[in-house]
Amino acid sequence: MALHRISTPLKDTDIKKLRNGDEVLLSGIIFTARDAAHKRMIQLLEGGKELPVDLRGQIIYYVGPCPAKPGQAIGSAGPTTAYRMDLFTPAMLEYGVKGTIGKGPRREMVMEACTRYGAVYLVGIGGASALLAKAVKKAEVVAYEDLGTEAVRRLEVEEFPLIVAYDTFGGDVFLNGISKYQEV
């Protein structure tokens, strides 16, 4: 395992260095989106239309942040269970999204899409939503404001702590963890 300090937008050379289990401190811009926003974006893509925000080369964080308290950029911002976005993810990666952030394992189709389109799935630390929020320096709604916490937000992050779950080579940190502790 290695520690990588990377910035967005992600470059293919950055992504190819990442292996499942590696730690990442991510800085730059990431975008938030959950179920309802993904549904709208997929409808646009299927209709041959542009997205409200160009997400090519970007990372989507599956989060529904709490309202910010005075002096904060964002409230608690822990990762959402990612498999809820699995049906949308291959199309988003084909479009050009280079990474997603969530928690928990995902369907095989997502791992295959990461390999096919040169993308990564990163996991945030579950239960550490207040810690993750401290890494967010700015937050603004950029699309679908009517969705409330599920609106698409542009976040500026600094050393946002993550772990590589799926890499571009088919590596899976969850399967590695199971096999490591299985009885032989």
Integer angstrom CA distances of residue 48 from 39, 43, 95, 161:
14, 9, 11, 35
Q: Which amino acid is at 171?
A: G
Q: Kindly name the residue from 34, 38, 40, 106 that is annotated as catalytic.
A: 38
Note whether 1 and 21 are within 8 A (CB).
yes
Is 38 in the active site?
A: yes
Contacts of 176 (CB under 8 A, 6+ apart): 20, 21
Distance of CA 15 to the CA centre of its chain: 13
Distance of alpha carbon 101 from alpha carbon 5, whole angstroms: 16
Q: What angle do CA 142, 106, 94 make, to 5 degrees?
A: 55
Residues recognised as catalytic:
38
